[in-house]
A = this chain, B = another copy of it.
């Protein structure tokens, strides 16, 4: 084996390693972005932080809260959260069951469980929901594009 051949092999190995590293980092980054978005949503929801929540939605988002019509557009979504946070205080934890990315669109299924405090009387009740999200990449950042949740608590 000549010195030239060895140099070439080393160069190929290095390039392969570099490409693999970049590829893995990018895939990891993409995945982290949606998980991070969900983590930020969880924290903001528990803090009744409408301002932060609104930064997570796409410009043409639709939110489907339980017991209400679909909230189309950012203004309606913001009012819906303000309305909810006047009535309750959430303390829930999200579990991400699956995330699938398809180009600039993605969807995720999560569930959440914890406690809700009714602000009117201080009562604390169990809270449990399933959630389905559709995300859109907007200017390079993943945003919530469609979002619906539904209670898992038995019917009264």
Min CB distance, A133 to chain B, in Å? Answer: 9
- Given A70-B130, A132-B134, check contact A62 B109 (CB 8 Å): yes
Task: Please give me the residue from chain B that is nearest to A147 by CB atom.
Answer: B132
CB distance from A4 to the nearest CB of B (A): 45
A109: nearest chain-B partner, CB-CB: B146
Which of B65, B68, B153 sits near A67, CB closer than 8 Å?
A: B153
How would residues 113 to 153 of chain A score, 1 for a CB under 8 Å from any chain B CB and 0 otherwise?
Answer: 00000000000000000111010000000000010111111
A131 to B66 CA separation, bound complex (whole angstroms): 11
User: A102 on the interface (CB 8 Å rule)?
Assistant: yes
Instruction: Output the nearest chain B residue to A100 by Cβ-Cβ distance.
Output: B105
A66 surroundings in chain B (CB, below 8 A): 150-151, 155
**Residues of A that sit less than 8 Å from B by CB:** 62, 64-70, 97, 100, 102-103, 105, 107, 109, 111, 130-132, 134, 146, 148-155
Offer 5 A-B interface pairs, CB within 8 angstroms, sorted by A.
Answer: A62-B109, A66-B151, A70-B109, A70-B130, A130-B148
